């Protein structure tokens, strides 16, 4: 058990990678065995994530150096800097890993039925596992170059999955848009990594943060990294790919892509807080993040209102909701240099933003899955042609209501809990921001009320007489996420106290991350 | 000086390559040209990395039978190799997607084939 825990950081990345390349072999023999393998391996990864999380909350940061005599030996003898590939997992990383593992598990179970009619399912699961590998790698790595590699793995696998159903014309187009912006963005990340490497001759995030001089080149690298990660997480004005990509992907993939975008958000926060940290004047950077968040929030929701394609509508809401996370964490970033403001409201704003990440992953994942269930039974995504589906798809409509109330921030749902934390703390920072955030929440409610009314209520339409409830595995997948939402809604205090606040502190406390790598030397 | 070229010559080349790449990506509507632009961008970034690791008069960083003198940095070369491999995968994927788009729309013009708007 101890060994399992020690090696769990690399196992969490290696098991999905191994399974990704085992599925083509096993898929040749039996489709059923392949499905069992994929689900079982993700369940095992979820278990590993949970035991690792428990240990991190008890004992602090885990460092895992690949190929070292002992895994926690970050800096070999006679060396001044870390030289190996190093994974460094703190409370923020494991927080993202919990999200990724849970959503991936739910989405894969859901996809078992959803993809049943498609050809080339084996390749679908291979790509899906690679996407999971990319997400885990991005959040676990302690090395800036590996972050680029895993970002590329997630982008390539994600784009291939978006374009998976090539019989639809728009699928290839959505995938193409995604890969173009991902490839250009990732190359800019590599350029920024080069700029940093040129000055400090290290790639490790902790070692770089330790050596950082804040020269002009560092600022250019920071600007590049912020632009790219803002684009990859879908913040307006760099959001143009989000609706096209999320709308055409298979529903299970849309749910995972939400988390994959959040992994880019994690990268943004990691760069701002850990790599550059409080020593640089973060007030300006904080305001840039806040403004990105406000614009995304407002423009995203206004663009969502006229949409008639149910998944495009949800995609625009995804843009809008990431605005809340940027707002919350941006406020924390802006007051990072001011301990008093940080203690009074900055920390709570960040906790609200980070809590919103996990809530968003759960309810937006659930909403995309319900939209996929509608598509599966009805055959199109046009809200104007749907109607009266609540008569036949009762369970799906209940899941939709749970997701919609949660995203709109209706008490007592978890969306309300995190949004309320954001309102309360942001109000002390700048009242106007909080007022706009509340307004956006109202428009979100209106938009989802419209979508619900269009799809589920009304008299039964003759053309949908034969529509049945979604298949069992899709219901189980949606059920996992719905159960998570209900659990978070019942005891938000528990989640905030045990999972979210350690993550917030991990971001604020740059020194702990650095000394996790560099040992005692400051 | 690298054989008569001023040392910052490669950096100028990087700037030119990246500039051309962005110009292509922003101005061209043909998707194949867009992919070419990305390829040029990848080359520019790779050249940047290799140039970073260059030390004047350095030899290849192989310790066996190494001649005396300084070596160039091995890490940027490793990074460049990784980046080239990734770029190949990305290019192949993009081109295969263009084939699919062409089958559906009969055009490689990104304006004409745009089904999704709004």
Say if the Cβ atoms of A145 and B79 lie within 8 Å.
Answer: yes
Residue B118 has pLDDT above 50, yes or no: no
Please report, for residues A180, A403, B42, B45, the alpha-carbon distance to residue B18 in angstroms, rounded to integers and kept in the order given.
Answer: 16, 44, 8, 8
Chain A residues within 8 A of B100 when measuring between CB atoms: 163, 166, 172
- Specify whether the CB–CB gap between A513 and A88 falls below 8 A: yes
Say if the Cβ atoms of A191 and B34 lie within 8 Å.
Answer: no
Count of other CB atoms within 10 angstroms of residue A21: 11
Mutate which: A130, A161, A171, A190, vs B, most B CBs within 10 A: A190
Chain B residues within 8 A of A184 when measuring between CB atoms: 25, 38, 41
Q: Which residues of A335-371 are buried (b: 16+ CB within 10 A; e: fewer)?
A: bbbeeebbeebbbbbbbbbbbbbbbbbbbbbbbbbbb
Say if the Cβ atoms of A170 and B52 lie within 8 Å.
Answer: no
Partner residue facing A184 (CB), from B38, B73, B115: B38
Residue B3 has pLDDT above 60, yes or no: no
Chain A residues within 8 A of B105 when measuring between CB atoms: 169
Residue of A nearest to B42 (CA): A187
Distance CA A507, CA A214 (A): 19
Closest CA to B116 of A315, A472, A503, A298: A315
Closest CA to A217 of B39, B74, B48: B48
SS3 at position A456: coil
Q: What is the mean pLDDT of residues B34-63?
A: 86
Partner residue facing B115 (CB), from A160, A169, A198: A169
SS3 at position A381: coil
What is the pLDDT at residue B87?
Answer: 93
What is the pLDDT at residue A278?
Answer: 62
Residue of A nearest to B117 (CA): A244
- Token pair listed for B45: 């970034």
Say if the Cβ atoms of B76 and A194 lie within 8 Å.
Answer: yes
Owner of token pair 């080349």: B13
The domain limits of chain B are: 9-60+70-105
Q: Which residues of A27-62 are buried (b: 16+ CB within 10 A; e: fewer)?
A: beeeeeebbebbbebbeebbebbbebbebbeeeebb
Closest CA to B71 of B80, B79, B62: B62
What is Dmax (Cα atoms) for chain B?
64
The total number of residues written for chain A in this structure: 522
Positions in chain A short of pLDDT 70: 278-281, 519-522
Say if the Cβ atoms of A184 and B118 lie within 8 Å.
Answer: no
Residue of A nearest to B85 (CA): A149
Chain A residues within 8 A of B49 when measuring between CB atoms: 190, 194
Residue of B nearest to A177 (CA): B94
Sign of the alpha-carbon dihedral angle for A43, A45, A50, A51: positive
What is the pLDDT at residue B35?
Answer: 92
- Chain pair A-B, CB pairs under 8 angstroms: 88
pTM: 0.92
Say if the Cβ atoms of A194 and B100 lie within 8 Å.
Answer: no
Partner residue facing A172 (CB), from B34, B52, B100: B100
Say if the Cβ atoms of B93 and A179 lie within 8 Å.
Answer: yes
Say if the Cβ atoms of A194 and B48 lie within 8 Å.
Answer: yes
Angle between helices A169-200 and B31-53 (to 10 degrees): 20
- Specify whether the CB–CB gap between B67 and B37 falls below 8 A: no
Residue B83 has pLDDT above 90, yes or no: yes
Query: What band does B7 get if pLDDT is binned at 50, 70 and 90?
Result: low
Beta bridge partners of A65: A86
Report the CATH number of the B9-60+70-105 domain.
1.10.287
Say if the Cβ atoms of B97 and A203 lie within 8 Å.
Answer: no
What is the pLDDT at residue A274?
Answer: 87
* Residue that wins the pLDDT comparison between A517 and B34: B34
Chain B residues within 8 A of A312 when measuring between CB atoms: 118
Distance CA A200, CA A271 (A): 16
Chain B residues within 8 A of A190 when measuring between CB atoms: 45, 49, 79, 83
SS3 at position A279: coil
**Ranges of H-type helices in A233-346:** 241-248, 251-269, 282-304, 310-334, 339-341
Distance CA A360, CA A362 (A): 5
Residue A278 has phi, psi (to 5 degrees) of: -70, -20
Closest CA to A519 of A73, A41, A65: A73
The two beta strands, A62-65 and A86-89, are: antiparallel
């Amino acid at each position: 058990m101890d060994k399992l825990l020690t090696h769990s950081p690399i196992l969490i990345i290696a098991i999905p990678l191994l399974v990704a390349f085992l599925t083509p072999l096993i898929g040749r023999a039996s489709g059923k065995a392949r499905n069992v393998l994929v689900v079982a391996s993700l369940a095992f990864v979820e278990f590993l994530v949970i035991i690792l999380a428990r240990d991190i909350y008890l004992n602090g940061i885990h460092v895992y150096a690949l190929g070292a005599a002992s895994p926690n030996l970050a800096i070999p003898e006679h060396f001044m800097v870390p030289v190996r590939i190093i994974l460094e997992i703190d409370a923020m990383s494991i927080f993202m890993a919990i999200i990724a593992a849970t959503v991936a598990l739910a989405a894969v179970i859901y996809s078992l039925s959803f993809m049943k009619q498609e050809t080339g399912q084996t390749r679908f699961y291979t790509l899906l596992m690679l996407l999971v590998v990319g997400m885990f790698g991005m959040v676990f790595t302690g090395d800036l170059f590996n972050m680029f590699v895993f970002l590329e793995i997630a982008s390539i696998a994600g784009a291939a999955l978006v374009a998976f159903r090539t019989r639809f014309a728009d699928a290839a187009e959505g995938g193409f848009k995604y890969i173009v912006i991902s490839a250009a963005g990732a190359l800019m990340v590599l350029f920024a990594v080069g700029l940093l490497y040129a000055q400090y001759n290290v790639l490790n995030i902790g070692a770089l943060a330790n050596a950082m001089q804040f020269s002009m080149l560092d600022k250019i690298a920071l600007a590049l990294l912020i632009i790219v990660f803002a684009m990859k997480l879908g913040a307006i004005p760099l959001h143009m790919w989000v609706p096209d990509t999320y709308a055409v992907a298979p529903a299970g993939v849309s749910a995972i892509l939400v988390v994959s975008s959040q992994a880019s958000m994690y990268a943004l926060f990691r760069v701002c807080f850990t790599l550059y940290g409080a020593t640089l004047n973060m007030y300006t950077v904080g305001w840039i993040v806040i403004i990105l968040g406000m614009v995304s929030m407002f423009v995203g929701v206004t663009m969502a209102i006229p949409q008639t394609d149910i998944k495009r509508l949800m995609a625009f809401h995804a843009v809008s909701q990431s605005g809340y996370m940027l707002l919350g964490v941006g406020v924390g970033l802006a007051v990072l240099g001011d301990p008093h403001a940080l203690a009074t409201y900055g920390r709570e704003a960040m906790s609200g933003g980070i809590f919103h990440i996990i809530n968003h992953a759960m309810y937006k994942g659930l909403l995309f899955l319900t939209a996929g269930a509608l598509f599966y039974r009805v055959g199109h995504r046009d809200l104007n042609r749907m109607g009266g589906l609540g008569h036949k798809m009762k369970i799906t409509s209940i899941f939709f209501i749970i997701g919609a109330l949660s995203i709109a921030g209706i008490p007592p749902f978890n969306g309300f809990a995190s949004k309320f934390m954001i309102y309360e703390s942001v109000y002390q920072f700048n009242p106007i921001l909080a007022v706009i955030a509340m307004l956006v929440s109202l428009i979100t409610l209106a938009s989802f009320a419209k979508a619900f009314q269009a799809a589920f209520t009304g008299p039964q339409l003759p053309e949908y007489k034969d529509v049945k409830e979604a298949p069992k595995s899709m219901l189980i997948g949606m059920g996992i996420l719905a159960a998570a939402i209900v659990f978070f809604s019942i005891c938000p205090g528990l989640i905030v106290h045990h999972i979210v606040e350690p993550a917030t502190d991990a971001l604020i406390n740059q020194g702990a991350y650095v000394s996790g790598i560099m040992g005692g030397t400051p | 000086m690298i054989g008569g070229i001023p040392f910052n010559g490669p950096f100028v080349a990087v700037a030119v390559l990246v500039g051309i790449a962005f110009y292509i990506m922003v101005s061209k509507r043909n998707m194949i040209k867009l992919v070419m632009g990305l390829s040029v961008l990848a080359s520019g970034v790779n050249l940047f990395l290799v140039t970073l690791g260059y030390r004047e008069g350095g030899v290849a960083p192989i310790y066996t039978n190494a001649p005396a003198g300084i070596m160039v940095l091995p890490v940027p070369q490793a990074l460049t190799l990784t980046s080239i491999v990734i770029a190949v995968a990305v290019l192949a994927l993009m081109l295969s997607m263009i084939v699919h788009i062409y089958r559906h729309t009969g055009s490689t013009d990104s304006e004409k084939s745009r089904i999704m708007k709004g």
